[in-house]
């Protein structure tokens, strides 16, 4: 998906409400009526398309078995109980299973959790709460105030949309606080300043949203006073992205940071001092604040700064900043050309870095020294795998990370600052990994760039065989291998189904992502977007050259920004691809900036209302590219009605235009579930079975039973 920016995400900034469906319509577009998200005519059309797809694909041999197997995997109680947060000596987790599809927010002692024998106590039963309140609640998280973590700001979304309700909750009484801090449904953020004060960014009424649909204003709100009386702290210009806030802390204390998102990739930040005033931070506008450790602000550079290269971590002393000084930054860590910093986190005395090294994950533990230097330890985790940082226990300097690969099921590790690790929980294997082989190859793109990709295939298979390529290519987000029962994103065990029957599954690390740091992203930004698509084609052609697959037997898969990529692939290279899985996509790039959160992504794609920008966007925009008489592969479009980040009108209008041209397509739109959070695992099980049936039909010629 095109995500909100890192700090915006932390501060609750999200996309605009579905009611703001579209503005400045193109008079020549005959399918604008499909942008009416909840319009009766539009939903009738969706129901017709859904029914046709279900009728065809559910009749495909093997569908029922796939669905049952996918549902069993996705509802299997043998899941990693990933730590949502560590609150002092307590670990929280959101647990979803067959009986609790919306989840149990629960807690266990840190000691029992680390020992692999957590003793869980339920805090909030989201399913029961929704039933009692007559709402289809989806959990969006909780922010509990340190150091005692008694009072929490709980966010709940109706149906899984980005818009949510925020309510104050007491972890001691396990009840919502009567007359506590509460915000109605909106795209909001609320951050604790102290027990009786919060910073709020939300829809305060007319004129309070930016053109991107985010909150323009951030206000200081005191307990017991009406929200209308909250004090304005900072305000964004209407054309900027929005305002947000979040907290950072180290052993010395907690600090609140206010951020003005000027665009998706630029921001200014201030720290709230002891007098309640905002003091500007010395970070470049393109740098990302990652945390605080040993009194030092740590930031990741997205562009060079003096002698420091893009992709490096640097730090500034916070005390000097609060004193109004302009301290010089110092280097914390500089990755090599083959490396990229993926995530950064802190505990009281340790800085944790997940690092990609030719797209293979590592976890580093860094400790600050009195002389300004940093010691560095490579933690003892499995090699050639993906490492996902989950959470850290501050005072214990303990980190939790999940390690997995295509063939290795997820294992959660507890890692100490000295680099030693111990497995906390491992999932049982869902399939026989010995039957497969995994390789990393490099394709050569049109401009000579080496593009890595991972290939999973059954041992002994002689090509050419049908292949499925999943990719993303945008927003600095790297794609790393995960267990085949969770690849690709939101499609459950599709990759497992696909490879088990002798086909090839590929994860392509095309430019636009963060696999090699800022340079990899910048190489596909705005007018350079075609580089990402050329990378994808190079990977597909490399499969053909190696004899693994063949033209017309390759499917492309992507979601959100990746859905745009898949739409571009089917329209630019119908000779190469025989199928396209297009999930929650952007497709109408002429109007994307007028639809929901689209205006916030102009730093990535450009502004289609500016003629010079439209000149390069129009060259790939899939909706405008569709032409009569071209033999396109029949795509599978999937999405959610309640997705209030990427407008469902993109997929709807694309389907309508294909239909008008007489071209085949498959379409499935769920009525619930937001952009990044599903409402129910059962939905993903249906999607996995439908997509497998689709691929078997389009690439293998397996037709529905008559």
Written in H, E and C, the secondary structure of 279-312 is EECCCCCCCEEEEEECCEEEEECCCCECCECCCC
What's phi and psi for 630, nearest 5 deg? Answer: -90, 135
Catalytic residues: 560, 675
Show the tokens assigned to 400.
């939790």
495 is written with which tokens? Answer: 């990759």
Distance CA 324, CA 278 (A): 11
Phi/psi class of residue 565: alpha, beta or left (left: φ > 0; alpha: ψ in -120 to 50)? alpha
User: Residue 639 in contact with residue 53, Cβ under 8 Å?
Assistant: no
Task: Provide the sign of the torsion angle of the four alpha carbons 511, 515, 519, 522, taken in this order.
Answer: positive
Nearest residue to 265 via CA among 248, 247, 283, 282: 283
Q: Could you tell me where the beta strands, DSSP code E, fall in 286-435?
A: 288-293, 296-300, 313-317, 330-333, 339-346, 351-357, 360-368, 374-378, 386-393, 398-404, 411-416, 421-426
Residues 535 and 565 sit within 8 Å (Cβ to Cβ): no
Instruction: Give Dmax over CA atoms of the chain in angstroms.
Output: 78
3-state secondary structure (DSSP) of residue 625: helix
Closest CA to 674 of 5, 32, 37: 37
| Eight-state DSSP code of residue 407 | S
Is-contact 353 343, C-beta < 8 A?
yes
Whether the Cβ atoms of residue 379 and residue 365 lie closer than 8 Å to each other: yes
Q: State the Cα–Cα distance between residues 649 and 679, nearest whole angstrom.
A: 20
Instruction: List the one residue out of 367, 365, 366, 454 whose CA is nearest residue 413.
Output: 365
Give the span between the Cα atoms of 568 and 29, in whole angstroms: 19
Task: For residue 161, give both structure tokens.
Answer: 């949309």
What residues does 257 pair with on adjacent strands? 246, 271
Is there a contact between 633 and 556 (Cβ–Cβ < 8 Å)?
A: no
Alpha-carbon distance of 56 to 671, in angstroms, equals 20
Q: Strands 278-280 and 266-272, how do they pair?
A: antiparallel
CA dist., res. 92 & res. 406, Å (int): 28
Residues facing residue 393 across a β-bridge: 398
Residues 6+ apart with CB under 8 A from 664: 634, 658
Asked if 42 and 36 count as a contact pair (C-beta separation under 8 A), the reply is: yes
Please provide residue 86's backbone torsions phi and psi, each rounded to the nearest 5 degrees. Answer: -115, 115
User: At 653, phi and psi to the nearest 5?
Assistant: -70, -35
By CB atoms closer than 10 A (0-12, 13-18, 19+), residue 330 is middle
Which of 253, 245, 234 is CA-nearest to residue 319?
A: 253
């Amino acid at each position: 998906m095109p995500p909100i920016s890192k700090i915006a995400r932390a501060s609750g900034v999200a996309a605009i409400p579905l009611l703001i469906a579209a503005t400045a319509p193109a008079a020549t577009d005959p399918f604008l009526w499909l942008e009416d998200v909840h319009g009766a005519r539009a939903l009738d059309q969706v129901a017709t398309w859904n029914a046709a797809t279900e009728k065809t694909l559910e009749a495909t041999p093997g569908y029922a078995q796939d669905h049952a197997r996918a549902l069993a995997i996705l509802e299997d109680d043998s899941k990693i109980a990933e730590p949502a947060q560590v609150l002092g000596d307590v670990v929280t987790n959101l647990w979803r299973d067959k009986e609790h599809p919306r989840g149990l927010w629960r807690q266990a002692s840190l000691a029992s959790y680390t020992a692999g024998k957590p003793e869980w106590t339920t805090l909030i039963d989201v399913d029961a709460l929704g039933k009692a309140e007559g709402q289809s609640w989806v959990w969006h998280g909780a922010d509990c105030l340190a150091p005692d973590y008694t009072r929490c700001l709980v966010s709940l979304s109706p149906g899984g949309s980005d818009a949510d309700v925020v309510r104050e909750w007491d972890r001691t009484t396990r009840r919502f606080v009567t007359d506590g801090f509460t915000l109605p449904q909106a795209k909001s953020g609320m951050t604790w300043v102290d027990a009786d004060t919060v910073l709020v960014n939300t829809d305060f009424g007319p004129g309070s949203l930016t053109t991107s649909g985010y909150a323009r204003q951030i206000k200081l709100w005191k307990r017991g006073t009406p929200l209308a009386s909250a004090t304005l702290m900072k305000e964004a210009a209407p054309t900027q992205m929005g305002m947000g806030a979040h907290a950072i802390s180290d052993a010395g204390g907690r600090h609140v940071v206010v951020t003005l998102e000027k665009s998706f990739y630029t921001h200014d930040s201030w720290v709230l001092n002891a007098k309640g005033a905002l003091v500007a931070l010395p970070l470049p506008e393109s740098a990302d604040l990652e945390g605080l450790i040993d009194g030092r602000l740590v930031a990741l550079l997205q562009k060079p700064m003096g002698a420091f290269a893009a992709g490096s971590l640097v730090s500034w002393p916070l005390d000097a900043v609060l004193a109004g000084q302009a301290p010089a930054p110092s280097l914390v860590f500089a990755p090599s050309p083959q490396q990229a910093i993926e995530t950064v986190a802190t505990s009281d005395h340790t800085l944790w870095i997940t690092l990609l090294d030719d797209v293979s994950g590592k976890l580093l533990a860094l400790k600050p020294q009195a002389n300004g230097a940093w010691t560095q330890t490579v933690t003892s985790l499995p090699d050639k795998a993906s490492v996902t940082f989950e959470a850290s226990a501050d005072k214990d300097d303990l980190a939790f990370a999940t390690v997995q690969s295509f063939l290795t099921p997820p294992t959660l590790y507890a890692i100490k600052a000295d680099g030693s690790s111990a497995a906390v929980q491992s999932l049982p294997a869902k399939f026989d990994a010995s039957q497969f082989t995994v390789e990393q190859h490099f394709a050569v793109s049109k401009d000579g760039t080496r593009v890595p990709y991972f290939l999973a295939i059954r041992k002994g298979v002689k090509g050419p065989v049908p292949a499925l390529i999943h990719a993303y290519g945008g927003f600095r987000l790297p794609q790393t291998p995960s267990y085949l029962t969770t690849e690709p994103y939101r499609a459950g065990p599709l990759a497992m189904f696909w490879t088990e029957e002798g086909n090839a599954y590929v994860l392509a690390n095309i430019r636009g992502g963060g696999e090699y740091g800022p340079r990899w992203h910048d190489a596909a930004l705005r007018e350079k977007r075609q580089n990402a698509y050329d990378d994808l084609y190079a990977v597909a052609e490399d499969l053909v050259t190696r004899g693994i697959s063949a033209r017309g037997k390759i499917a492309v898969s992507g979601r959100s920004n990746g859905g745009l990529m898949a739409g571009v692939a089917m329209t630019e290279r119908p000779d190469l691809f025989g199928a396209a899985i297009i999930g929650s996509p952007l497709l109408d790039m002429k109007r994307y900036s007028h639809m929901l959160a689209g205006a916030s992504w102009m730093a990535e794609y450009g502004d289609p209302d500016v003629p010079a920008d439209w000149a390069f966007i129009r060259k790939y925009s899939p909706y405008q590219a569709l032409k009569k008489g071209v033999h396109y592969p029949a795509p599978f479009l999937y999405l959610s009605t309640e997705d209030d980040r990427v407008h469902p009108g993109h997929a709807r209008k694309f389907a309508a235009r294909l239909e008008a041209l007489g071209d085949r397509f498959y379409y499935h739109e769920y009525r619930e579930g937001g952009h990044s959070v599903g409402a129910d695992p059962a939905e993903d099980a249906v999607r996995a079975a439908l997509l497998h049936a689709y691929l078997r039909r389009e690439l293998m010629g397996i037709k529905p039973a008559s």
